[in-house]
Amino acid sequence: IPPRFYRKGDCRPGKEFERKRGASMMESVVEREAPENSTGLGAIVMLETRPLCPNQYWTQSIISNWEYSQSHKYAFSLHNLTHFQALASTLIQSYGYRIPSEYPVAWYRIAALRHSLAANPNAKWVFYLDSDTYIRLRNKPLVEYIESLSL
């Protein structure tokens, strides 16, 4: 389901953000699981429950992480809670699990990761990022960055 874009300040539906570069990127984020020239090395997964407003840092983080995934040819998937609830029956049929509605939103991360693993069967790894975070070292592949943190 493509996200709706909102006017700065009040997050009501509007066309202001659609004219900006970010709008077309966000539509691509939702519509594509992996870039056409994906290496199949890995996938970055994000989950968001808030509206994608252009004036909010989480929207900018999502765009930044999507750009990073495209530049390194990683698969990228953004899941919002509404989208996942629409896929509930598919998740149950395909993977044999369900997330009870009384569970905290954090439990949807597991479903998002499992969905990404199934959608990218050749991926060697899947990396989950909160929507509040972004990858700062944009020129460095994610695997090298993680290995540099190892003791």
> Which residue ranges make up each domain of the chain?
17-149
Cβ atoms within 10 Å of 84's Cβ, excluding its own: 19
pLDDT in tens, 30-77: 434 455 555 668 899 988 877 777 778 888 888 889 889 888 989 888
Tell me how far apart the alpha carbons of residues 99 and 4 are, in angstroms, rounded to a whole number.
26
The answer to whether 126 and 119 have CB atoms below 8 angstroms apart is no
pTM over 0.85: no
* Side chain identity at residue 72, one-letter code: H
3-state DSSP assignment of residue 43: strand
Query: What is the per-residue pLDDT across 109-146, written as a single tens digit (0 to 9) for each?
Result: 887 888 888 888 888 889 999 888 888 888 989 888 77
